[in-house]
Amino acid sequence: MLEGCALSPLPRDLAIYLNRDIYAISELETIALSCYAGQTGANYVSDQSLSSALSSNIIPVYERFFQLAGRIEPQTRPVQALHSLYLEAASLRMRGFRTILLALETQDSLLVQEANRMLAQGEHHVVLWRSEMADLAKGYGLNLEGMTAGPSNQN
């Protein structure tokens, strides 16, 4: 969790954003990403299995996560910018999941490549989000130790 003395509006906003807002929805993202990881790479079984997981679990859970993330309204410009990056990462992942499902349904290998590109871009945005979050916290003398909320680095 974010620790530190939050006397000015920005540190307080960042603490609320991470400790309350992001923390409250992070489990949904973790569930969706873990399920996806359990169906891909070394865990891949079949197109049908992945398609079923995407349509019945991964996409609905990630959509709910994305919907809730869209309702978060940070109060300060720096935290708003940070959240915009978070939303872009989530949007890229959501589009990637939907595109993979379409690719499986149509057996289109070009769509698979496009979906993988979206997921990789989403991962890149997650890395940027974490870096900017750390820089913002450090700039205000806040400690991010133990902070577990936010986009996972799973895909």
pLDDT band at 75 (very low <50, low <70, confident <90, very high): very high
pLDDT tops 50 at residue 155: no
pLDDT, residue 68, reads 98
* Residue burial 80-107, b: 16+ Cβ < 10 Å; e: rest: eebbebbbbbbbbbbbbbbbbbbbbeee
pLDDT > 90 fraction of the chain, expressed in percent and rounded: 79
Q: Vertex 78, ends 76 and 82: CA angle to 5°?
A: 115
| pLDDT for residue 2 is more than 80 | no
- Per-state percent for the chain, helix, strand, coil, to nearest 5: 75, 0, 25
Give the pLDDT of residue 148: 43
| Burial bucket for residue 136 (CB in 10 Å: 0-12, 13-18, 19+) | buried
pLDDT of residue 149: 47
For the stretch 4-35, pLDDT in tens is 454 589 988 998 999 999 999 999 999 999 99
- Which residue matches tokens 């070009």? 110
**Model pLDDT, residue 65:** 98
What is the sign of the dihedral through the CA atoms of 66, 85, 126 and 41? positive
List pLDDT tens digits, range 95-136: 999 999 999 999 999 999 999 999 999 999 999 999 999 999
